[in-house]
Amino acid sequence: MNRHKEQFHALSGDLIEFKPLEMKDVPAVHAFASDPAVSRFIGWKQMGSIEETEEHVQTLIGREVEGTHLYSSIIRKSSQTVIGTVILFNFDDEANQAEIGYVIGQSSWGNGFGTELAALVSGFGFRTLGLHKLRAEVVDANIGSLRILAKNGYEQEGRLRDHYFIEGCYHDAIMLGRITPIPGK
């Protein structure tokens, strides 16, 4: 299915822009994927070596080629450096919805990049793909991500108790969603 991949890769805001995820991004991805503070809440294990990160990036690129996921590297405009990755996935064509996910390197936290990337992806999902709903699943302890999504109109829809086991502790999964904005409201 055509998911407007080229348009997703070309999204741009005031602070950040997207570009296709490429193997040349592996060192930048490894910098945040190997950081325990970043990797603890992102849904994949902390990368221990550059080779693990290479395999991981190859898997992500393969999923996009298959048409099941959209991935982009997040570029900080002021420095033209890769600061994270963003994903649109778990497409449900019948219900006309998808899931958003992202990861940003710790050195770029607190600068508005996450809020802007969620706005860019949400706008793309609703306007370009014509989705009815966007969803996100966030570890309850990931306060930064919960704030980013709330600022972008995502509301808590549910909680899966003790859904994650991270660093010897159980954490709830917070289910969030946003419905297509109704024109004029």
pLDDT per position as a tens digit, 82-97: 999 999 999 999 999 9
User: What is the reported pLDDT for 45?
Assistant: 73
The alpha carbons of the chain give a radius of gyration, in whole angstroms, of 16
| pLDDT exceeds 70 at position 43 | no
- Range in 36-45, 68-77, 104-113 with the lowest mean pLDDT: 36-45
pLDDT for res 163? 93
Assess contact for 98 and 178: CB atoms under 8 A. Answer: no
Paired tokens of 59: 């898997």
* pLDDT at residue 184 is higher than 80: no
Other CB atoms within 10 Å distance of the CB of residue 87: 21
CB atoms within 10 A of CB 159: 11
What is the phi/psi pair of residue 60, to 5°?
-60, -45
